[in-house]
Amino acid sequence: MLKVKNPILPGFHPDPSICRVGDDYYLATSTFQWFGGVELYHSKDLVNWEHLPSPLSRVSQLDMRGDPNSGGVWAPCLTYCDGMFYLIYTNVTNFHGNLKDTHNYLVTTTDIRGEWSDPIYLNSSGFDPSLFHDDDGKKYLLNMKWDHREGTNFFAGILIQEYSPTEKKLIGKPTNIFRGTYAGGTEGPHMYKHDGYYYLFVAEGGTGYYHGIQMARSKTLLGEYEVDPQPVLTAKHNPESYLQRTGHGALVDSPNGDLFVTFLCGRPITLENQKRRSMLGRETCIAPVFWNEDGWLRLKTGGIVPPVEFEVDKQEYKFPTDPLFDDFDEPTLPLHFKTLRLPFTKEIGSLTERKGCLRLVGNESITSWNKQSLVARRIQHFHMAAITEMEFSPETLQQMAGLTVMYDTYNFFYLYLTKDEESGQNALRILVRDNLKFYNPIEGGCVLIGENNHVWLKAERKDTTLTFSFSLDGESFQNIGGNLDCSNMADEAYGEIGHEGHTGPFVGMACQDLTGEHFCADFFNFSYEVK
């Protein structure tokens, strides 16, 4: 027996979709504005997960330039049928206010580790698309319908429409098959077939603390759908549960017939003012389920609150994990590093121009929604530290490079090297953006370091406290900027400024050149330490 401990994918891994091919499980999660677009993982035991290349590797598949924070890729759906993998995803180009622009696409491959097709455009009527393969060979697209009108239920129901693989387009007209329950916020649809019924999985209650998974069933595909008398899972009535904000599920079976549901969660830290902050973003979990005598899915562990731990009858199968230290000796960017909105190309940086270095090309500002040179990885632990060794020779105050801890361009911390033009020296500065407001926590504005252009930069986070430090020799580090409150690095902080935030914290390297001359910075290594 193996012990499964939730979350199975810690740190920002929301909206998990899962399928099985033989003895292999494949799981996809959202990335929002972070490129790769969709994150893929592989497992044989549901405990150990292998990181796979993203299926969306080029702009022809996913163009997120100009996409807002927490826009981009929402809730992908990964399925397999007759030797083909199907991936459906949304590129959200606008979602602030009542109006949303949600464009849904399909890509395919016969080799999940290989190259995926160019996208087929499907529709834009709503988000959270999924593909259902019926046993008669027909395929159907499901997605929630968005109603932008004032005074209406924005979540206007679940649409279904046939997809033709031969014509590579939707055919017929969409049908609204389910309008949701009193919980509201009906989204994230997945369709399954069992014992003569069509079962509709939906997420309800919003993506906050009232989130959950609801089921409904019908003898016919187009309904009418009967609602399960209770949710499959939710933590909304159990604020003491370790796993909160649980919902948005997908179902998978094992080769021996066991059933599991994947779902997202948050693990909040409670502040002194009783505000809760999910400091690692929304994460991926899994739980065992079974069909009860009434034909509804129930948690094997009992009740509706998902378990933190359970056991599976499987043989352990381990994979190499993402490294904690990178020396950039390989010609390709490691899978755990992500870029913002655009893929890693020569316009962003290079791993070959200087051997053993990640070279970043100075581009637009750290608040840009278009062309940023920023490479970062998820923060996956409440206590962690990141260190990078960097060489950079700025000539003006408009040239910057350094280490950033970023939720998004509205909430970030940035320790960077630049030129202090008054003294003529190189200088270290910190730029903080806290819910749209900028400030610099360094007394006197900067720390002058003479002509030194080779520095080590360190960021250390413990719960909701962040500290920066620097070194000129790689051994002795000096604090800069004091202790910083980073509790804004969470979805919950956004409600305070009237925005929605759905991503998670990252830490990484960045370079900007606001002169347009594209000065470069070289990063020799990057380490992520679990404290």
Spot the catalytic one: 187, 283, 420, 522: 187
395 tagged catalytic: no
User: Largest alpha-carbon pair distance within the chain?
Assistant: 78
15 tagged catalytic: yes
> 505 by DSSP, 3-state: which?
coil
Q: How far is CA 389 from CA 6, 336, 353, 440, 462, in A?
A: 34, 19, 17, 23, 22
Residue 476: partners with Cβ closer than 8 Å, 6 or more residues away? none
DSSP 8-state secondary structure symbol assigned to residue 496:
G
- Strand order across the 297-299 sheet: 244-253, 259-266, 283-291, 297-299
> 150 by DSSP, 3-state: which?
coil
Q: Rounded to 5 degrees, what are φ and ψ at 497?
A: -115, 15
Tokens at 241, concatenated: 């549960």
Q: With b meaning 16 or more CB within 10 Å and e meaning fewer, what string describes 151-160?
A: eeebbbbbbb
Tokens at 313, concatenated: 């009858």
> 234 by DSSP, 3-state: which?
strand
Q: Rounded to 5 degrees, what are φ and ψ at 404?
A: -125, 145
Secondary structure of 239-297 as H, E, C letters:
CCCCCEEEEEEEEEECCCCCEEEEEEEECCEECCCCCEECCCCCEEEEEEEEECCCCCE
Q: Count of CB atoms within 10 A of residue 29's CB?
A: 25
Q: How far is CA 163 from CA 39, 172, 196, 358, in A?
A: 25, 9, 22, 43
Q: Name the residue with tokens 């979350």.
A: 7
- The whole-angstrom separation of Cα 66 and Cα 458 is 30
- The whole-angstrom separation of Cα 421 and Cα 441 is 20
Residue 477: partners with Cβ closer than 8 Å, 6 or more residues away? 456, 458, 469, 470, 471
Secondary structure of 348-373 as H, E, C letters:
CEECCCCCCCEEEECECCCCCCCCCE
CB 394 within 8 A of CB 419: yes
Nearest CA to 158 out of 233, 214, 230, 119 is that of: 214
Question: CA geometry: angle at 94 spanning 88 and 96, to 5°?
Answer: 125
Secondary structure of 101-150 as H, E, C letters:
EEEEEEEEECCCCCCCCCCEEEECCCCCCEEEECCCCCEEEEEEEECCCC
Q: How many helices (H) and strands (E) does the chain have?
A: 0, 42
Q: Which residues are catalytic?
A: 15, 187
